[in-house]
Structure 1
Amino acid sequence: MSAFTILLITILGHQLVDSAIVYKWHAIDYEWPSTSVKQASIKNGSFIIKNNLLSGIKIYNESVYVTVPRTKKGVPSAVNVIVEKNGEAILRPFPSWSMQTVGDCSAIQFAQSFEIDQSTGWMWIIDTGLHIIADPGQFLCPAKLVIYDINAKKVIRVHTFPEAVAPKMRTYLNDIVVHKISGKPAYAYITDTGTAKLVVYDFRKDKSYTFAHKSMAAESGPATIIDFDNTKFVSKTAINGIALSPDSRYLYYCPLASMKLYRVPTSVLAQENGDISRSVKNLGDKVSQTGGMMAGSKSLFYGALNKNAVYKWDFTKDMAIAASVDDVTLTTQTQVVKDEALMNWVDSFAFDTSGHLYFTVNNVPKFLQNTMDFKDTGPFNMFVWKIYVGEKNYW
């Protein structure tokens, strides 16, 4: 479970690129108030080691923030920052233990993804609530968006999504990007995998609404089958990955159960009652299904789940050769980095401010099928990778 760094050389186009594993874990552990608190949590079931899996990632001021979604019971903290103690990489609940209390609807209940504004230090946390781990009859917290100022150490705003936007027992808020206008937050775009919709949050009006389109639904047939560790893993997951173009003109998205990448103008999404049916564009097929993706200044990076790799779409190049922006298709796709053993299920992405792309790897199918070995003598299950790509994100 010790953090370590290795150096690999891979080819990105004609450029040599350094890639490294920054952190790796057999199992996740936390910075507990005391050993006795940890032992009590294990005893009462509020910490079940095998139910903790790393997912989302973002970087701010050289700190690495990650999520551990409460897809199963026994996850003590959903949002965390990685710290190292005695050579071990462990998770410190962020911003505090009290903000992670299960059953306290003012705290964070179920967070898979978040975003951090590099210019302000605002962390935008999407909280689905408790639907998956809730016992029958247990009170369910509504889904919400929590905006937390890392520097000022205070909550800026909490937006509770109306039932019509994020229905309990159905919604699954998956990923988020934030659209700024004139340097100030204007909209947040959130994929809701549970309802197969796109949620839009208007920051200036403190109001949320949704869009639905057939492109957001899971496909059937071969698109549901992912080659994973010599097995066929079936996923019927709807809209999942999301990315904002560098100029904020377009939102990219895709279902996990699809090879296709779609685009919609953000100008259409700004219209609460707008009709997006004629605005959605199918850009073409990716080389693989993907969950997480992220746009840099020149490329769209995504995890190629069928290939144990990270790929990029060079949209700058394809725009240069297209007749117009509207005619751009998903043509120039390049392998960025690949590892058959250590990149099984590339999940979430983040940029730092110096051109590095970070991403998590977590072997999700093994976790969901309860075949993951969490013993120290077994293989490592979760990783944080870092690779220099010479791009930055939309902030």
Structure 2
Amino acid sequence: VKMGGIKTLILLHLVYLTTCMDQLHILYEWKVLDYQFESPQARQEALDSKRYIPENNIPMGLEVYQDRLFVTVPRWKSGVPSSLNYINLKDNSTTSPVLIPYPNWAAHTFDENSPPEIISPFRVRADRCGRLWVLDNGKINNADVNETLIKKHQPSLIIYNLSNDNLIRRYIFPADQVKEDSGFANIAIEDSDCEKTYAYSADLGKAGLVVYSWEKNDSWRISHHYFHQDPLACDFNVKGINFTWEDAIFGLGLSAPNADNFSTLYFHPMASFNEFAVSTEYLRNKTVADNNFDAFKHLGDRGPNAQSSASFIDPKTGVLFYSLVNLNAVACWKTSNKDYTMKNQGRIYMNENTMIYPTDIKVDYDENLWILSNRMPIWKYGKWDLNDVNFRVFSAPVVDAISHTACDITPRTDILDKFLKTNTSTILIAGATTGNAVNAGPMTFATIFLLSWFISFGVLN
């Protein structure tokens, strides 16, 4: 068989797989966020009083439950009228819908003596028991240039009944579990037993994990070296904007229950290239966690320039989805692969215009993947353009999103595989002195790079 034929097949392989990727669809997009005010007059009054400053509103987290898409808008700056909202997914009249305050406007209204019921959540999680868990950071105006406007309240968990939107419970974190620079930005819920549910809240500001027991209505803080940032991974560059972040533990992905009825928590600091894991057996009891340092495992790394913020595991397929903020991308890893290596990681979506800063990832109970991008580094450090599309919500069925990637749970034979199976099962590099071969396999970042390199430099001529 001539090597030219193999070269042609490789080109076809690349074109075929590339066109099969990026299966996500943009469902919603906004230039600026707006809200369903009680009346046009109420909206104008909010604008006049600066209770609503459009350019200060940026979506940070999302969640989907039944026919509602929840969106958090933290009070980074003044002028955020409602920090937890939803969209009716059955309303297809617009792709830029106004946000409806959840559970109502009253929950977001300040009075003279106390903050509102919901202060400033970054991310939320709807569990399988029909409860919405809101991790409230408690900070107001912490990104405002005027530091006198910054206010700090104790972080808390706020839990609602999604069947009637009534408040079920509010749990304020004890003072000894909150540090001076704490920042609680992400939450994972272990809900295999509705009465024995555990919430895991990541403190990216002071490298800790607060574990809350629903049954005991109690919490404890766990520390570990793996929660801390990597000093070699604190340099970020998004869309040409260079900045330094020292965010600690951020990404949380909770597996389905294992054979021992405990789950595996996959986690990573944002300022890191590495992924880690621990069984929740060691998290449900503070004493056990403190005495089992080696229970926390280092799985591997994502490669250079591959810092990640949010992550989420689809419990059905066992696929871990995670953002790659510097690369304007979302990637995946099939946890059943065991080896957390670059060749086992697949690209789900990459676009330098539409996927600028993927900030949250979820899989709903109908097996759909949801991703929110919000251009936050540009909003925070660059030139913000209110005439450009700044926020997007993407979605696709999980099986479509992972199709023809290293995470595909039903690998499909393609034309190159068929050709190779009838020959040598490997592509021999002509003229190579090492005697190595390149194995044809699922599409990964490494596959694209290597095959493109061989073709570009004429190695297969």
- TM-score range normalised by the length of the shorter chain: 0.7 to 0.9
Letter in 2 for 1:306: N
Contact 2:195 2:214 in 1 (8 A): no
Corresponding residue to 1:311 among 317, 331, 334: 331
* Identical positions, percent: 26
CA distance in 1, matches of 2:99, 2:308: 26
Query: Residue 226 of structure 2 aligns to a residue in which SS?
Result: helix
Check if 1:282 corresponds to 2:298. yes
- Map of 2:208 onto structure 1: 197
Contact 1:243 1:294 in 2 (8 A): yes
1:109 deviates by 0.2
Letter in 1 for 2:171: H
Corresponding residue to 1:382 among 380, 388, 391: 391
Contact 1:12 1:335 in 2 (8 A): no
Residue by residue over 1:168-223, the C-alpha shift from the partner in whole angstroms, topping out at 9 and shown as x without a partner, is: x52211111111244544210010112211110011110111111222122213x1
Corresponding residue to 2:267 among 248, 253, 259: 253
Farther off after superposition, 137-146 or 245-254: 137-146
Normalised by the length of structure 2, the TM-score is 0.74
Corresponding residue to 1:206 among 214, 217, 227: 217
Q: Which has the larger radius of gyration?
A: 2
Q: Which runs of 4+ in 1 moved over 4 A?
A: 10-17, 83-86, 131-140
CA distance in 1, matches of 2:244, 2:194: 42
Check if 1:90 corresponds to 2:108. no
CA distance in 2, matches of 1:387, 1:300: 15
Farther off after superposition, 381-390 or 16-25: 16-25
Kindly report which structure 2 residues correspond to 1:141-160, keeping only aligned pairs within 5 A, or say none.
141-160=153-172
Query: Residue 360 of structure 1 aligns to a residue in which SS?
Result: strand
Q: CA RMSD in A?
A: 2.5
Query: Residue 347 of structure 2 aligns to a residue in which SS?
Result: strand
- Map of 1:67 onto structure 2: 72
- Map of 1:109 onto structure 2: 119
Specify which structure has the higher proportion of strand. Answer: 1
Cα distance change, pair 47–131 in 1 and its aligned pair in 2 (3 A): closer
**Which runs of 5 or more structure 1 residues have no equivalent in the other structure?**
1-9, 320-327
- Map of 2:35 onto structure 1: 30
Number of aligned residue pairs: 368
Cα distance change, pair 263–12 in 1 and its aligned pair in 2 (3 A): farther
Cα distance change, pair 217–184 in 1 and its aligned pair in 2 (3 A): same
- Map of 1:5 onto structure 2: none
Query: Residue 258 of structure 1 aligns to a residue in which SS?
Result: coil
1:227 deviates by 2.8
Letter in 1 for 2:278: V
- Map of 2:242 onto structure 1: 232
Check if 1:353 corresponds to 2:365. yes
CA distance in 2, matches of 1:58, 1:185: 22
1:228 deviates by 1.2
Query: Residue 390 of structure 1 aligns to a residue in which SS?
Result: helix
Letter in 2 for 1:381: N
CA distance in 1, matches of 2:165, 2:101: 14
Cα distance change, pair 230–21 in 1 and its aligned pair in 2 (3 A): same
1:266 deviates by 0.6
